[in-house]
Structure 1
């Protein structure tokens, strides 16, 4: 998009573009106050949509890790080695371009490697065993890098820990604190770590996903719109919806999802957040067990299950009238996700809010296929900064009844009375 500076936003009819923001504290505070008047009311209005959804990408983990002083897992390319390395890398590059990602990353390489593995297992057992060992090694290293990210965040201490926890909780609560009579916030993520689950635990939010069970939660195909209710004191037979409940869907799987070939089920391990690298729950040969996209496991059914179910949930949740999708930390490099969002925007009453650190080519390509009236943009290291957003631009939790009551009370009072202190006018 031509003419856009490093710091840019477009909210409704208001827009702003600049190459820099003030550095001095007083000037910065005035800058924030000026733009907060335009951004915060607009976001507050969009968050009151009938259907509110949140899509989180790897940029979210990077942002939290930066606050905690811990580097996040990279998605760069890997070196598989072996006789098939060149073919795998070339195929990964081709598929990445077809998906609109541009350069290939570790997901593209693993997808190509697993496709090659499935083929040579039929014709060359020896080469298949060699490739299997290499893929297992890289998947194991990837799992360990995810755990190292969690360990770094979990071990943060002092001000870094308090700032990280405050930003994480405030961000989630800004979306999750909807009136219980409204539909629940639905959180979607392409991340494999458990940072969202960790944040929900810190904030006291209850999560609903497709896993059922206590000791060994198993992935179920049926959702049945399960929810949380409670019985108010003195009232029987009139259960009410609980507050602070969110739905969670991990579109690409999770590092604690395990496929059991014997029972043909997918279960979730009781793996603590930031578990040590030698934890017994982490398999040494994850290629056939760990359900990380695009791992197809052994049979055709698992190639599409559970990912087909997860993407059906995504499409069913966002492609509805009066739906809003807030996107944070997602680089628009997955064509299968972009396609669903574009289908969503074919409904005139839907809206997408995008927070991005920069205006990348992939984001520009996506925006070129949308209508400006249906998109809100917060671009740049200032407007998309997690701490800056939660402190200044994201709306306060909707369950702040005290502020709401005070506002209503002041509206009902005469102007001269509301401007006085309680002691003024007393004889």
Structure 2
């Protein structure tokens, strides 16, 4: 008789276990650190013995084909949070990335802290962070200027500028830690990042482009895409100092196959990037948002803000959400455009959204994801190493669309190295496998004993995975 052990998913994660829900699972399957399934009565695929233990091979057979199928959706989007930066930082041997802990204001300290705490609790978080404090301080600064409290406004603006500048430096320090890490560890971390991105971006040219969204301010995804040879498209236009454009033209990258007449083909390895909360290299200058040439891992941003054309910009002009320059209209721009892109991309039929390292602490993002799930043909895949503030499991528990959600969480399933090596699909291998299965079926036919000899080759023929000769 199988002994029933009670562990909540949150307790299992804290004990370095794993939580999984894929395919036809009706409930979350809780797996202990030793691989033992703690709720076997809810798991239809658990080994039928007195000690139901699952290993990586069983998990891979369960997860990889499922993700491969989901990644063939008409619309595929990837949402990355701070977890991806932390994961790559740990692999590089430099510890965690930028923290979002609270800072200290000397002017109006109690008022800012109290209002930031109320704002955080209204968003479902227990404690405020530096983003909440900057948002409140910005509102307070506008109020002081309206009241014409010029001296207090000047002091607060000076302190706010210093705090945002230090916050930007902490982001750059996170980048510098990775860029200057010990060579072998740095190269290993970059390889994992490249393979991670290629698992998503390696879609065939006849499918809609991968949409990458991130709440991070650093440029880790841009660096990974550059190393992987992935062409990123965003709203910025230009070369020397690209400018943000509100017009969202359907720009793309094509090529003409040699010796073939007809329309150009879509180039593979192209993705769209949207940084929902801005970036450390976005600066407001003269009513425009520009991206400055800031090297990855540079010590300080200050020298780059003195470039001609930036009109003496300081840290207050950095487009780091929720920092805004001067007025409410500017506060809503360009973020309103970015979130419109996010909603338009994921709230479409036959759409799959994969989140990695996103803790579901941003209600404005969660609302869009919830709206996406109201479309029956959509699917949400949540991948995370842990759930420190409990927001991921809370989102799942309170959702009425559990059948449209897959969960991969824990020390094994959420580890970016294990995930990349064992569980994420390899697009090149998948296409070769499909072509091989088609070739064998044409050569030997369905009655040739293929079912008995090579059951692994019995993959469905996906009509929209085209060969280069079509």
* TM-score, reference length from structure 2: 0.83
Q: CA deviation at 1:339?
A: 0.3
Task: Choose the corresponding residue for 1:304, options 332, 335, 347.
Answer: 332
Task: For residues 41-66 of structure 1, give each alpha carbon's deviation from its aligned partner in whole angstroms, at most 9, with x where no partner exists.
Answer: 11111111110000000111000100
Mapping of residues 8-27 of structure 1, within 5 Å:
8-14=19-25, 16-21=29-34
Hey, what does 2:404 align to over in structure 1?
Answer: 374
Query: For structure 1, which runs of at least 5 residues remain unmatched after alignment?
Result: 24-28, 421-427
Mapping of residues 201-280 of structure 1, within 5 Å:
201-236=226-261, 238-260=263-285, 262=286, 264-277=287-300, 280=303
Hey, what does 2:8 align to over in structure 1?
Answer: 3
Q: CA deviation at 1:234?
A: 2.8
Task: Choose the corresponding residue for 2:372, options 344, 368, 374.
Answer: 344
Hey, what does 1:105 align to over in structure 2?
Answer: 129
Q: CA deviation at 1:121?
A: 2.0
Compare relative contact order (CA 8 Å, sep 6+) and give the higher one, 1 or 2: 1
The CA distance in 1 between the partners of 2:29 and 2:429, in whole Å, is 30
The CA distance in 1 between the partners of 2:283 and 2:319, in whole Å, is 6
Hey, what does 2:427 align to over in structure 1?
Answer: 397
Task: Choose the corresponding residue for 1:143, options 151, 155, 168.
Answer: 168
Give SS of 2:355's match: strand
The CA distance in 2 between the partners of 1:127 and 1:110, in whole Å, is 16
The CA distance in 2 between the partners of 1:235 and 1:36, in whole Å, is 40
Structure 1 stretch displaced more, 242-251 or 99-108:
99-108
Q: CA deviation at 1:273?
A: 1.1
The CA distance in 2 between the partners of 1:341 and 1:402, in whole Å, is 33
The CA distance in 2 between the partners of 1:399 and 1:114, in whole Å, is 51
Task: For residues 204-256 of structure 1, give each alpha carbon's deviation from its aligned partner in whole angstroms, at most 9, with x where no partner exists.
Answer: 00011000111121000011111111111134551110000000000000000
Give SS of 1:333's match: coil
The CA distance in 2 between the partners of 1:402 and 1:355, in whole Å, is 27
Task: Choose the corresponding residue for 1:92, options 113, 116, 126.
Answer: 116
Q: Does 2:155 correspond to 1:130? A: yes
Does the CA contact (< 8 Å) of 1:178 and 1:399 recur in 2? no
Provide the aligned C-alpha RMSD in A. 2.4
The CA distance in 1 between the partners of 2:330 and 2:261, in whole Å, is 45
Q: CA deviation at 1:22?
A: 5.8
Change (3 A) 1:348 1:163: same
The CA distance in 2 between the partners of 1:55 and 1:225, in whole Å, is 21
Change (3 A) 1:141 1:285: farther
Does the CA contact (< 8 Å) of 1:73 and 1:146 recur in 2? yes
The CA distance in 2 between the partners of 1:277 and 1:166, in whole Å, is 27
Mapping of residues 23-172 of structure 1, within 5 Å:
31-71=55-95, 72-82=97-107, 84-122=108-146, 123-172=148-197
Give SS of 2:117's match: helix
The CA distance in 2 between the partners of 1:64 and 1:75, in whole Å, is 18
The CA distance in 2 between the partners of 1:127 and 1:203, in whole Å, is 50
Does the CA contact (< 8 Å) of 2:282 and 2:292 recur in 1? yes
Q: CA deviation at 1:129?
A: 1.2
Q: CA deviation at 1:408?
A: 3.5
* TM-score, reference length from structure 1: 0.91
Change (3 A) 1:37 1:307: same
